[in-house]
Amino acid sequence: MHKRTRRGTLFDHLILVGIALFVIIPIWGMLRISLDGSIKGAPTDFALLPVEFTLSVYEKVITKPAQSLSILGVARNSLIVSTGAATLSIVFGASMAYAFARFRFPGRQSGLFALLLGALLPPVALMTPLYIILSSIGIRTSLLGLIVVYTAFSMPFCVWNMRTAFQAVSKELEEAAFIDGATPFKAFWWVTLPIAVPSIAVAALVAFLAGYTEFAIGWLFIENSANVTLAMSVWGMMGRATWSELAALSILMSFPVVIIFIGLQKVLVDRLLLGTTNA
């Protein structure tokens, strides 16, 4: 077997450093702008490090990120909308996912195909009709309207992933419950569901994140500034606030997402591949 030479290993590390630079430069660019108190409006000079190091920009965006709301206000809206969408997707989708996992019925294959289609549909493809439909029933500009929209985006994905989760639970456990006289619903509720909870939680998390990071459709639907979410307030700063403020709020907003992704990377890759890696 070839022994890797010292020079070869050094070269590998140089490659990794090069790619790390590609990864870090844009992140550092934004971080630096957010920590620099010397920037008024847009930066006018080239700098690698903050010229006047300060955290005051973060203080400012925390107290007043959007027109009339505090950061708590926009974060609350984000939580309501994202949690609402994730909950609806799970609650209304769970039994359907179970049916796709356990039963054979006519139309099952086309149903699965339709679920995939829904899971990979770009949000804009549902935005157009939902805007008109929700307008005509008068809930478009409310948080409930946004919950409906984000549920429509996430629910097929959640159902698909819950189905994979249920399939992973062994059938024998359910059959044992049947022998003890359980109805199919009881077997589902007391046996399969508890085992699948961790996977369902991940599906819910993905649905939550989809709602948490969406803003373009939110801006189109919401008209009342009291209903602005965190992601929307970042976008709302474009062209209004200084570059530093925009950068600071972007970083604040991304922080929880980054933590979740790094913590759950292996599971998330499998989920985002729709359970096809068998990892």
Query: Among 61-69, 70-78, 193-201, 209-217, which window interacts with another protein (CB under 8 A)?
Result: 209-217
Using CB under 8 A as the binding rule, the residues of this chain from 97 to 116 that contact another protein are 97-99, 103-108, 113, 116
CB of 68 to another protein, least distance (A): 23
Contact 209, 123 (CB under 8 A): no
Contact 187, 177 (CB under 8 A): yes
Which one, of 248, 207, 263, lies nearest residue 63 by Cα?
248
CB of 48 to another protein, least distance (A): 9
Report if residue 240 touches another protein, rule: CB under 8 A: no
Residues in the chain: 279
* Cα angle value 219/223/228 (rounded, 5°): 60
Beta carbon nearer to another protein, 29 or 194: 29
One of 9, 70, 170, 224 touching another protein (CB under 8 A): 9
Query: Among 51-59, 84-92, 167-175, 195-203, which window interacts with another protein (CB under 8 A)?
Result: 84-92
Task: Please list the alpha-helical segments (H only) found in the chain.
Answer: 6-35, 56-63, 71-102, 108-119, 123-136, 143-168, 171-179, 184-187, 193-213, 216-221, 230-237, 243-263, 265-272
Contact 253, 247 (CB under 8 A): no
CB of 106 to another protein, least distance (A): 5
Using CB under 8 A as the binding rule, the residues of this chain from 128 to 157 that contact another protein are 128-133, 135-136, 148, 151-152, 155-156
Using CB under 8 A as the binding rule, the residues of this chain from 162 to 201 that contact another protein are none
Beta carbon nearer to another protein, 116 or 201: 116
Pattern 22-51, another protein, x by CB under 8 A? xxxxxx-xx--x--------xxxxx-----
Using CB under 8 A as the binding rule, the residues of this chain from 259 to 278 that contact another protein are 260-262, 265-266, 269-270, 272-274, 276-278
Q: In the chain, what is the straight-line distance between the N-terminal and C-terminal CA atoms, in Å?
A: 30
